[in-house]
A and B are shown apart, each in its own frame.
Chain A
Amino acid sequence: MANTIDAEKAVKISSVNGIEVYRINTEKFKTSSIHFFFQDNLTRESVTLNSLLPAVMRRGSERYPTLGDISKQMENLYGATFDCGVTKKGERHIMQFYVEFLSKRYIPDSVDSFKEGLELLYDIIMKPALENGRFREDYLEQEKDKLRILIEGRVNDKMSYSVDRCLEETCKDEPYGIYDYGFVEDLPGINSEALTNHYRKMLETYPLQVYLAGDISDGDTKEVLDRLSGLKRGNMLQLGSGFIEKQPDKPRYVTEPMNVTQGKLCLGFRTNISPQSPAYTSLMVYNGVLGGGIHSKLFQNVREKASLAYYSKSMLEKFKGLMVISSGIEAKNKDKALDIILKQLEAIKSGEISDYELGATVKSMETSLKSLGDSQLNLVDFYLSQTVSGTWDNLTDIIDKIKQVTKEQIIDSARNIKLDTVYFLTSQQDGSGNGQEETGNENR
């Protein structure tokens, strides 16, 4: 049983011209999938272009010139899924395109679903619908408008908005503080020529990773390699990950007023531990003890004992070296909640970690890692993330390392962590500021 959880390990098949191809071969799923990840550094100049590009590309290709044509083809392929978009990992901005389809053995007719799926994805990425050599104006203008709506729509989900905003405030003078979907103010200046040039730049210079997951034959793999070998590539862009160490003297306090029923209190921290450091494993366990589940100090003290919140949790941002604590509370309880939260951090620092807290944390992390292999998308993300962090561990190794973490190592991690920013989203009448920074008069 010991090695079954690594049965779905990603294997690097090829690495040429800044294109890496990985294969995750498993028959346990009913579907297979193909993923393309083009990577850029997250910068103010390219963020909006990067974000607009997949949005326009998804509108049509040479062979499937409209959204409707693409949808029909996916329906014909027994409900295949195609999607694309952007995400950030640390200070990398990643454009992803993927297609997932029923594996050949479950297709009732003789359709070669891998071939068809690859054909569709390849057509969308390599042969977009152009007019006079440029992206179609109508698609561009429509997608600019949709991107504006999407960016403005960030506020609609208060929980994720508050966490993102907290981390943006924490990194406000660093590239990580840039919102992955870009800026509304950039949109009017982007014309189809600029976007087409940007597209060529992506194809030629952005490092590309391709993942093939599911029931993938050698023939399927060869088909992908053959196609990629014909791609014209130039000088590859050099990528960073954005990790930095920082020791703020005192936290910044930021209050954002909004018409909300529930306040969201988020704390942004610098972990000062890089994902490549051996101490990173201790940091993961630290985060688990602090706010990584129902056994954690935050859940037990903010929710269960004080009844102040329905949720209170902590999460790591691995690549950049950040941690965020978030809770939904009544605005009038802000100081009380902040006090209880900070006490939990102090408690870990002073070694108050029970055997139960440590044991439950380690077991729960083990469960999550073992479960990773049960989802194709999570598996792909796991390996992609490791290429960003510059690590290449398999699941069994990570679990072994987690089990060896001691209380002393957790305390060491706790000492490295520094509170950077306290962000509070609150209703207009409770907000003492008007979107402004408050002067931090608390000496924590």
Chain B
Amino acid sequence: MKIDKIEYDKAGEVLYRYEHSSGLKAFVIPRKGYSKRYAAFATHYGSINNEFVIPGEAGPVSVPDGIAHFLEHKLFEQKDGSVMDKFSALGSNPNAYTSFNQTVYLFSCTDKFDENFGLLLNFVQNPYITQESVEKEKGIIGQEIMMYQDDPGWRAFFNLLGAFYSRFPIRIDIAGTVESISKIDRDTLYKCYNTFYHPSNMVILVVGDEEPQMVFGMIEAALQKKEPIPEIARIFPDEPAAINKDYTEQSLSVSIPIFQMGYRDNRSDKDGIEMLMHETAVKLLLDMLIGRSSALYNQLYSEGLLNSSFDADFSIEKEYGFSILGGESPDPMKVKERFCQAVDEAKSNGLDREAYERLIKAAKGRYMRQFNSVERIAHSFISVYFKDVNMFDYLQVYDKITFKYVEEIFKEHFDRANLAMSVVKPV
């Protein structure tokens, strides 16, 4: 068994890496002195993958919205009952989540890591789905969907994605709708499983005080499929280059308008490191323009147009990208206007170099702070992994990034034509 040990001296961290014959890659990030162990088994398959070619079949197939998330719920069910109960008996915390492009199964424990890890490796590889249990799950997921319908931040977010994209499936709620999940059946779940849950499309990560040799040995013994499969054909609708609309609103019982706005980013041809560079640059720019130390944030805060709920972020994947700025405001349109003014001013007067130097320092420190938490490490690692990079590549990014590069990204990303806004208003 060949194990690579990669040392990141700047961060004081070590990464162990191993590749199985099936194409699955596995990683261990040690945490000396921590009680908690965390393991994740993730597939590169999420809510946006609702059209694809099943290996061995000729044409593409379309599946109901929300099926990746539904499958996530159903995978915990095994022939002899719910595997949740087995984790529970060990006192560990199993969980799972589905995002736009990945489904992650995980547990954390402080004791009997190998038994827990064995359960994880086993249940993710062995689905046991009956039509009866599929019907029952529709009630639970129906309540989950309804819960999110009352969540103003979540609604503002998906309404904004719907404004960015006309057809791209990111605009659909991850859990689907009560209507779309009603069409889910056992056979379709298995089709999705068989397509996307092959080890070559998956990754395993362990964070905690465990021996890499033992972890990789268990993986070697537990993986049932030994051969890689070819790349899965994922099909996406043709998305127009222009945003769908620049404004959308909804009414809910909230006390004050809740808004999200941002720019759709059409640069999707970048490789992994370039994506991290791009992401880091846009995040720095958001901080420079409207972060806590910026003149604009301080003015808007003093005028009562923003409060400390305000936040800004940027996401980029191979297929999509967008920035989001959001919070509560009595007058979201005014916030948008003032932000656009600040962008225009920076375009004509240039960006603040001093702020850039200060903010990159802050970004490095915040990056380091993630290593305090086992969960944060795992989440960061998995969330960038399917871009063909890992979280330690940010160290390279901080070395490589320059003011000039950030200036270029500024001109490219903050394009008024790609700006949309979503508001949830009080009833």
Binding site for B on A (CB under 8 A): 4-5, 7, 26-31, 66-68, 71-72, 74-80, 100-102, 106, 138, 142, 145-146, 149-150, 152-159, 258-262, 293-295, 303-304, 307-311, 328-330, 356, 359-360, 362-367, 370-371, 373-376
A30 touches B369 (CB 8 A): yes
Q: Within 8 Å CB of B140, what residues of A?
A: 303, 307, 309-310
In the complex with contacts A79-B364, A262-B149, A294-B84, A149-B369 CB distance below 8 A:
no
A72 touches B358 (CB 8 A): yes
In the complex formed, the residue of A with least CB distance to B303 is: A142
In the complex formed, the residue of A with least CB distance to B298 is: A68
Judge if B409 is at the interface, Cβ distance under 8 Å: no
B110 to chain A, nearest CB (A): 4
In the complex formed, the residue of A with least CB distance to B302 is: A142
In the complex formed, the residue of B with least CB distance to A83 is: B308
Q: Within 8 Å CB of B137, what residues of A?
A: 307
Judge if B402 is at the interface, Cβ distance under 8 Å: no
Q: Within 8 Å CB of B291, what residues of A?
A: 71
Judge if B267 is at the interface, Cβ distance under 8 Å: no
A60 to chain B, nearest CB (A): 11
12 further A-B pairs in the complex, CB-CB below 8 A; given A363-B89, A364-B88, A374-B373: A68-B295, A71-B293, A75-B362, A76-B361, A78-B361, A79-B365, A145-B304, A149-B255, A309-B143, A360-B88, A370-B110, A371-B110
In the complex with contacts A74-B362, A142-B304, A370-B35, A155-B369 CB distance below 8 A:
no
Q: Within 8 Å CB of A77, what residues of B?
A: 365
B36 touches A374 (CB 8 A): yes
B307 touches A149 (CB 8 A): yes
Interface hit among B59-67, B90-98, B158-166: B90-98
Write out, one digit per residue, whether chain B residues 75-116 have a CB within 8 A of any chain A CB (1) or not (0): 000000010110011111110000000000000111100000
- Tell me the chain B residues, 355-390 only, with Cβ under 8 Å from chain A: 358-359, 361-366, 368-369, 371-374
The one of B146, B252, B307 that contacts A330, using a Cβ cutoff of 8 Å: B146
A30 touches B372 (CB 8 A): yes
B367 to chain A, nearest CB (A): 8
B302 touches A293 (CB 8 A): no
In the complex formed, the residue of B with least CB distance to A26 is: B33
Q: Within 8 Å CB of A330, what residues of B?
A: 143, 146
15 contacts between A and B (CB under 8 A): A31-B372, A67-B301, A75-B293, A79-B361, A146-B307, A146-B308, A159-B147, A261-B150, A262-B150, A294-B84, A307-B138, A364-B92, A367-B92, A374-B36, A375-B373
Write out, one digit per residue, whether chain B residues 275-308 have a CB within 8 A of any chain A CB (1) or not (0): 0000000000000000111110110011010011
In the complex formed, the residue of B with least CB distance to A259 is: B253
In the complex formed, the residue of B with least CB distance to A78 is: B365
A367 touches B256 (CB 8 A): no
Q: Within 8 Å CB of B297, what residues of A?
A: 68
A29 to B377, CA, bound (A): 13
Please, how many residues of chain B have a CB less than 8 angstroms from a CB on the other chain? 68
A371 touches B108 (CB 8 A): yes
The one of A68, A262, A307, A366 that contacts B146, using a Cβ cutoff of 8 Å: A262
Q: Within 8 Å CB of B255, what residues of A?
A: 149, 152-156
B89 touches A356 (CB 8 A): yes
B35 touches A5 (CB 8 A): yes
A426 to B84, CA, bound (A): 31
In the complex formed, the residue of B with least CB distance to A5 is: B35
Judge if B218 is at the interface, Cβ distance under 8 Å: no
A363 to chain B, nearest CB (A): 2
Q: Within 8 Å CB of A71, what residues of B?
A: 291-293
Q: Within 8 Å CB of A157, what residues of B?
A: 151
A31 to B12, CA, bound (A): 13
B19 to chain A, nearest CB (A): 29
A53 to chain B, nearest CB (A): 16
A106 touches B368 (CB 8 A): yes
In the complex formed, the residue of B with least CB distance to A142 is: B302
A362 to chain B, nearest CB (A): 7
A100 to B365, CA, bound (A): 11
Q: Within 8 Å CB of B36, what residues of A?
A: 370-371, 374
Write out, one digit per residue, whether chain B residues 109-138 have a CB within 8 A of any chain A CB (1) or not (0): 111000000000000000000000000111
Judge if B427 is at the interface, Cβ distance under 8 Å: yes
Q: Within 8 Å CB of B138, what residues of A?
A: 307
B253 touches A155 (CB 8 A): yes
In the complex formed, the residue of B with least CB distance to A7 is: B33
A28 touches B88 (CB 8 A): no
A67 touches B298 (CB 8 A): yes
A31 to B367, CA, bound (A): 11
The 4 closest A-B pairs by CB, nearest first: A363-B91, A78-B365, A307-B139, A79-B365
Q: Within 8 Å CB of B292, what residues of A?
A: 67-68, 71
The one of B35, B136, B328, B365 that contacts A374, using a Cβ cutoff of 8 Å: B35
In the complex formed, the residue of A with least CB distance to B141 is: A310
In the complex formed, the residue of A with least CB distance to B136 is: A307
B211 to chain A, nearest CB (A): 15
Judge if B344 is at the interface, Cβ distance under 8 Å: no
A51 to chain B, nearest CB (A): 14
Judge if B144 is at the interface, Cβ distance under 8 Å: yes
A80 to B146, CA, bound (A): 38
A366 touches B91 (CB 8 A): yes
A75 to chain B, nearest CB (A): 4
Q: Within 8 Å CB of B89, what residues of A?
A: 295, 356, 359-360, 363
A373 to B369, CA, bound (A): 16
B143 to chain A, nearest CB (A): 4
A215 to chain B, nearest CB (A): 12
A149 touches B328 (CB 8 A): yes
Judge if B34 is at the interface, Cβ distance under 8 Å: yes
B328 to chain A, nearest CB (A): 7
Judge if B32 is at the interface, Cβ distance under 8 Å: yes
A367 touches B254 (CB 8 A): no
In the complex with contacts A5-B35, A262-B149, A102-B365 CB distance below 8 A:
yes
B91 touches A362 (CB 8 A): yes
A310 touches B147 (CB 8 A): yes
The one of A30, A153, A356 that contacts B85, using a Cβ cutoff of 8 Å: A356
Judge if B152 is at the interface, Cβ distance under 8 Å: yes
A292 to chain B, nearest CB (A): 11
The one of B152, B298, B373 that contacts A156, using a Cβ cutoff of 8 Å: B152
Judge if B184 is at the interface, Cβ distance under 8 Å: no
Q: Within 8 Å CB of B373, what residues of A?
A: 374-375
A359 to B86, CA, bound (A): 11
A367 to B38, CA, bound (A): 12
A156 to B256, CA, bound (A): 9
B122 to chain A, nearest CB (A): 18
A395 to B381, CA, bound (A): 30
Write out, one digit per residue, whether chain B residues 326-370 have a CB within 8 A of any chain A CB (1) or not (0): 001000000000000000000000000000001101111110110
B359 touches A75 (CB 8 A): yes
Q: Within 8 Å CB of B139, what residues of A?
A: 307-308
Judge if B316 is at the interface, Cβ distance under 8 Å: no
B104 to chain A, nearest CB (A): 17
